[in-house]
């Protein structure tokens, strides 16, 4: 449980350091991508720190990429 708190605090630190600069430079696409990536990382980190079952992401990546690999002749 303590690790989950540390993960959330680390995410909050990342937001505190990065978001003002992105907003000041009006980099809204990057801000959106940063937010999505950070939320995903925090969620996965909390799930892993609480030792909850989590599916293997490599299987999902292989399913998504396999049509491209076949199309390029691999």
Q: What is the rounded CA–CA span in Å between residue 22 and residue 34?
A: 10
Q: Based on the structure, what is the number of domains in the chain?
A: 1
Domain range spanning residue 9?
2-71
Say how far apart CA 56 and CA 42 lie, in whole Å. 17
Distance (Å, whole) CA 30 – CA 13: 17
Q: Each residue of 13-64: pLDDT tens digit?
A: 999 999 999 999 999 999 999 999 999 999 999 999 999 998 888 988 899 9
> What's the confidence (pLDDT) of residue 15?
96
The pLDDT, as a whole number, for residue 69 is 87
Q: Which two tokens stand for residue 52?
A: 């909850």
Q: Per-residue pLDDT for 74 more than 70? A: no
């Amino acid at each position: 449980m303590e690790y989950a708190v540390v993960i959330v605090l680390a995410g909050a630190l990342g937001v505190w350091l990065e978001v003002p600069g992105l907003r000041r430079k009006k980099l809204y696409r990057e801000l959106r991508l940063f937010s999505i990536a950070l939320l995903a990382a925090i969620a996965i980190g909390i799930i892993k720190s609480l030792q909850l079952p989590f599916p293997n992401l490599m299987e999902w990546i292989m399913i998504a990429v396999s049509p491209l690999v076949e199309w390029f002749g691999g």
